[in-house]
Structures are given as C-alpha cells and as structure tokens.
Amino acid sequence: MKRRFSDEQIIGMIKEYKAGVKAQELCRRYGISDATFYKYKAKFGGMNVSDAKKLW
C-alpha cells in the first residue's frame, strides 16, 4: 500500500498541532480526515524523525 505522507511529514503535522495549530486547520491544509490525523497522532505522537525511521 502506497502511503500519501512520509513519516517525516506526519511528524511535522503533529509538531504543528503541538505548536498551537488546530486539528481541523491541519486536516483541511493536508486534505485528511480528523480520524486519520488522530490515528497518525496516536502512532507517531512523541516521536522524532530518527525514532520513526527505526520503525521500518
């Protein structure tokens, strides 16, 4: 399955969210649903890019 966003991009989205950007704004900007954003947040929340690379 081809993924639309790389791990680095997803972590960037989560960092924007933690910086104060609303989840709805991020979803609109990146063209994803709220459920997808929160699924990314659950999987990648608290990770750095180097941590995400260790997953694969």
Tens-digit pLDDT profile for residues 41-51:
998 887 777 77
For the chain, what percent of residues have pLDDT higher than 90?
Answer: 61
- Show contacts of 26-33: CB within 8 Å, 24+ apart: 30/5
| CA 26/CA 18 separation, integer angstroms | 11
Q: Are 11 and 47 in contact (CB under 8 A)?
A: yes
Cα angle: 26, vertex 34, 40; to 5 degrees: 80
Scan for tokens 């180097």, then name that residue: 50
In the prediction, which pLDDT does 48 show? Answer: 75
pLDDT at 34 over 70: yes
For the chain, what percent of residues have pLDDT higher than 70?
Answer: 86
